[in-house]
């Protein structure tokens, strides 16, 4: 692979023309996305993640009336070969993460309200689930918070804890993972009805940023690596106050220098850009950029961080932006890259 070409993967909903996980390439010399092709055929691989050493890809998967996780090896040319999958009865998870040591994967299951831990073999295959944590409770939104809806589970930067986000109960729950067993360490209740969805940690500070789906806000949290607890520092809107139509917050990401946070809005169909205060870690709003499509489910910074790729689920297109590393602002380069029902975007 040429050093100016980065390859990536797209998880999708397998409806319409979609068949599974797709691969694509970003040419950083001419700023173009191309070479979209099917990389692995499987049902509803809506979220994917790549191991630290870039040799394995893990995906959520549905198979008939069962759901779970699938493991793939990544070849030198970016192709995927399935290693195995682990399934259980019921709906499939909506999120999957792998720790830096590549010995555990964790999933969040929206429909079941569970967090599940899977050991990984030396070759990268998934062992059967070693622990399942069942969330309890409700929130004030009768349509979306009638029961727990775990939407995210990821490892803390120090690897000591797993941070789980529950949209249904308005909670951030921290778990320890000891010998494959999940044990609750701390719980933070956020604003009732906000519906927290995804979380990202600051690369250098004990701060995390949470995107809420129901209230369309970004919550800034102080993180304690001693006990895994969080506390709220700030809450900022992700959409203009004048926008009254349906909006659901989706993905949130941060630049590797910790200077800019990006958050996506489905409905307003935009990415909100924030600068991070160097002293406090709090956010200042910069701009909204249209994703040039409907229902941006996810986006990703490329490895050079000169570009951002967004996935518009309902219009079936990827959008490529140039990113100004000094101002954080985005400028449109391309919006005509067709992928059916794209959800998650990840680079190798």
- How many distinct structural domains can be found in the chain? 1
Q: How far apart are CA 80 and CA 246, in angstroms?
A: 37
Q: What is the CATH number of the domain that holds 151?
A: 2.130.10.10
In this predicted structure, the answer to whether residue 1 has a pLDDT above a threshold of 80 is no
**For residues 137-149, b (16+ Cβ closer than 10 Å) or e, as one string?**
eebebeebbeebb
Rounded to 5°, angle at Cα 107 from 165 and 133: 70
Write the DSSP string, 26-81: EETTTTEEEEEEEEEE-B----EEE-TTSSEEEEEEEETTEEEEEEEEE-TTS-EE
Instruction: Kindly indicate the confidence band of residue 76, based on its pLDDT and cuts at 50, 70 and 90.
Output: confident
What's residue 299's pLDDT?
A: 98
**pTM (two decimals):** 0.98
Q: How far apart are CA 136 and CA 152, in angstroms?
A: 16
Task: Quick: pLDDT tens for 279-308.
Answer: 999 999 999 999 999 999 999 999 999 999
Task: Quick: pLDDT tens for 131-187.
Answer: 999 999 999 999 999 999 999 999 999 999 999 999 999 999 999 999 999 999 999
| Domain span holding position 31 | 5-347
- Mean pLDDT across the chain, nearest whole number? 97
What's residue 2's pLDDT?
A: 81
Share of the chain above pLDDT 90, in %: 98
Which tokens is 131 given? 């622990």
Token look-up 């999958």 returns: 85
Distances (CA, A) of 315 to 228, 274, 275, 318: 39, 26, 29, 9
Average pLDDT (193-197) is 98
- Closest to 143 measured CA to CA, from 248, 30, 70: 248
């Amino acid at each position: 692979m040429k050093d100016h070409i980065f390859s990536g993967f797209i998880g999708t909903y397998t409806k319409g023309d979609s068949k599974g996980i797709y691969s694509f390439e970003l040419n950083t010399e001419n700023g173009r996305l191309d070479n979209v092709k099917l990389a692995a055929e499987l049902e509803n691989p809506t979220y994917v993640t790549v191991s630290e050493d870039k040799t394995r890809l893990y995906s959520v998967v549905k198979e008939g009336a069962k759901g779970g996780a699938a493991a793939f090896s990544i070849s030198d040319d970016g192709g995927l070969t399935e290693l195995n999958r682990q399934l259980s009865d019921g709906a499939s998870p909506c999120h999957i993460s792998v720790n830096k040591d590549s010995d555990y994967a964790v999933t969040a299951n929206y429909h079941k309200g569970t967090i599940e831990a899977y050991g990984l073999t030396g070759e990268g295959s998934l062992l059967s689930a070693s622990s399942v944590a069942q969330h309890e409770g409700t929130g004030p939104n009768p349509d979306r918070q009638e029961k727990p809806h775990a939407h995210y589970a990821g490892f803390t930067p120090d690897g000591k804890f797993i941070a789980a986000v529950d949209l249904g109960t308005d909670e951030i729950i921290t778990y320890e993972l000891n010998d494959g067993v999940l044990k609750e360490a701390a719980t933070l209740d956020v604003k009732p009805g906000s519906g927290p969805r995804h979380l990202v940690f600051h690369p250098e500070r004990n701060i995390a940023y949470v995107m809420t789906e129901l209230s369309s806000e970004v919550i800034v949290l102080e993180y304690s690596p001693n006990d895994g607890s969080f506390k709220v520092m700030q809450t900022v809107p992700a959409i203009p106050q004048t926008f009254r139509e349906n909006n659901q917050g989706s993905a949130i990401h941060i630049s590797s220098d910790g200077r800019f946070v990006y958050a996506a809005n489905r409905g307003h169909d935009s990415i909100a850009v924030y600068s991070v205060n160097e002293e406090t870690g709090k956010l200042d709003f910069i701009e909204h950029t249209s994703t040039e499509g409907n229902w941006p489910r996810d986006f990703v910074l490329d490895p050079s961080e000169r570009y951002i790729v967004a996935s518009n689920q309902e219009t079936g297109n990827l959008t490529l932006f140039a990113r100004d590393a000094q101002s954080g602002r985005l400028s449109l380069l391309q919006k005509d890259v067709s992928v059916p029902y794209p959800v998650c975007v990840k680079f190798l």
